[in-house]
Amino acid sequence: QMQLVQSGAEVKKPGSSVNISCEASGDTFTYRYLHWLRQAPGQAPEWMGWITPFNGYSHNAQKFQDRVTFTRDTPMTTVYMHLSSLRSDDTAMYFCATEDGSNSFDTWGPGTLVTVSS
């Protein structure tokens, strides 16, 4: 049974960047879509985009335009999300999640809290 392990909480200044990692344990996500979502306090989840670890192809929601980048390491066991030009409204819990054959996000990481504050 695959589990996703995410990096720890971050506190960032406005205008700075954050890098969050998501590592698979117990199985591999190499050939699956790996999605990133975020959830601001008291709000619904928001989908940010995906990466396919085996070839590094990625797609992000237009809302984030050039602010977000998804990458993976060569062993394809860890993926990363880089979000730049942080603003206070980027304060949220950030999740990675795999997509199963029924198009649902079936395995989720525990989340990484990013707080943006001056």
Shortest CB 45 distance to other proteins, Å: 5
Q: What pairing do the DSSP bridges indicate for beta strands 68-72 and 78-83? A: antiparallel
Q: With contacts defined by CB under 8 A, name the span among 9-17, 56-64, 70-78, 81-89 that binds other proteins.
A: 56-64
47 DSSP β-pair partners = 37
State which of residues 34, 92, 111, 114 lies at the interface with other proteins (CB under 8 A).
Answer: 111
Q: With contacts defined by CB under 8 A, name the span among 9-17, 70-78, 83-91, 97-105 that binds other proteins.
A: 97-105
| 116: CB partners within 8 A, 6+ apart | 12, 13, 14, 86, 87, 88, 89, 90, 91
Q: Is 36 in the site for other proteins (CB under 8 A)?
A: no
